[in-house]
């Protein structure tokens, strides 16, 4: 099975048309495979110890630790809505569900584009931009975890910063796939009638249009597996506090201290925290 469907243009040129739609099932199977393997790993292999917390850490941390601002939460759910709309309108017709999907698809695509542009601006100027990117501590601790997994001696990894390494890597994959579907999708609007652009299917050559459709389709198929994994992780019992924080904006002190290192992700705006840490340093 090839991953790209080809055809001959009226001028005899071999041009790509789109991805092979059988890849939809490949993505679904890959998503379920990840769920099964991860479930077994958590049940059998993953360590289940809790870190020892110092009284100073507990006293310095508020009962409700703020994690996501209202703007960040609104972005997340608007993006989620647009992504589900895009997947439904893109792939249901490919598996036999017929409906007039084109208009709904490009509207959802524009909603995704606007939400991502807002997120880039918001993350650059209102949030800690670098908190979502892997750093040396993430790579070092990943190395330690792999060594300990294979039974080799290694120091105990530290608790996570605001975002664990797997979250950061997932964010990178979503970012690449998202930029691919948005970039190609905006150009593809020139092939349909919308209130925003004059239709011009001759803007690019047949080969360029075909390559654009292939990239758009590959990224879209990839999103099937990515969203399956994201939903699965969001409903796992040990991850529910993170999911709830995307609804309410905060997580409990106990979960924060068990999973996150206050030195790598400091809680802002806590006067009690500053006094406790100062007293601890003085001792």
For 141-167, write each residue's pLDDT tens digit. Answer: 999 989 988 889 999 899 999 999 999
Average pLDDT over residues 189-199: 88
Query: Is 65 exposed, middle or buried, given 0-12, 13-18 or 19+ CB atoms closer than 10 A?
Result: buried
Confidence of residue 280 (pLDDT cuts 50, 70, 90): very low
**CB under 8 A, 24+ apart: contacts of 132-140:** 132/163, 132/167, 132/168, 132/171, 133/168, 134/165, 134/168, 134/169, 135/161, 137/161, 137/264, 138/164, 138/165, 138/168, 139/165
Q: What is the pLDDT of residue 269?
A: 52
More confident position, 178 or 198: 178
Per cent of the chain over pLDDT 70 is: 93
For 63-96, what is each residue's pLDDT tens digit?
999 999 999 999 999 999 999 999 999 999 888 8
Summary mean pLDDT of the chain: 90
More confident position, 189 or 275: 189
Q: What is the pLDDT of residue 1?
A: 55
For 108-146, what is each residue's pLDDT tens digit?
999 999 999 999 999 999 999 999 999 999 999 999 989
pTM: 0.88
For 242-258, what is each residue's pLDDT tens digit?
999 999 999 999 999 99
CB neighbourhood size of 266 (10 A): 15
Residue 23 pLDDT more than 90?
yes
More confident position, 140 or 49: 140
Average pLDDT over residues 191-205: 88
Q: What is the pLDDT of residue 13?
A: 84
Specify the CATH number of the domain 4-267.
1.20.950.20
């Amino acid at each position: 099975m090839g991953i790209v469907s080809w055809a001959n243009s009226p001028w005899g040129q071999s041009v790509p048309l789109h991805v092979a739609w059988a890849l939809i099932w490949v993505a679904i199977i890959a998503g379920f495979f990840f769920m099964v393997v991860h479930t077994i790993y958590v049940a059998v292999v993953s360590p289940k110890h809790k870190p020892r917390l110092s009284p100073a850490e507990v006293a310095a941390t508020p009962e409700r630790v703020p994690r996501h601002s209202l703007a960040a939460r609104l972005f997340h759910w608007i993006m989620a809505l647009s992504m589900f709309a895009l997947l439904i309108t893109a792939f249901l017709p490919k598996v036999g569900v017929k409906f007039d999907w084109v208009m709904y698809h490009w509207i959802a695509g524009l909603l995704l584009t606007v939400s991502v542009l807002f997120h880039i601006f918001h993350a650059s100027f209102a949030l800690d931009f670098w908190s979502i990117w892997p750093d040396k501590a993430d790579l070092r601790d990943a190395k330690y975890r792999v060594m300990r997994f294979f039974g080799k001696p290694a120091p105990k990894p530290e608790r996570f910063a605001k975002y664990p390494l797997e979250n950061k890597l997932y964010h990178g994959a979503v970012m690449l796939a998202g930029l691919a579907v948005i970039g190609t999708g905006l150009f593809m609007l020139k092939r349909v009638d919308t209130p925003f652009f004059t239709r011009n299917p001759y803007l690019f050559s047949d080969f360029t249009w075909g390559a654009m459709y292939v990239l758009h389709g590959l990224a879209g198929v990839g999103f099937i597996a990515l969203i399956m994994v994201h939903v699965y992780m969001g409903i796992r019992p040990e991850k529910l506090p993170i999911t709830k924080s995307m609804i309410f904006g905060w997580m409990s002190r106990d979960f924060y201290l068990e999973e996150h290192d206050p030195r790598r992700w400091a809680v802002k705006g806590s006067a009690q925290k500053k006094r406790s840490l100062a007293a601890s340093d003085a001792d």
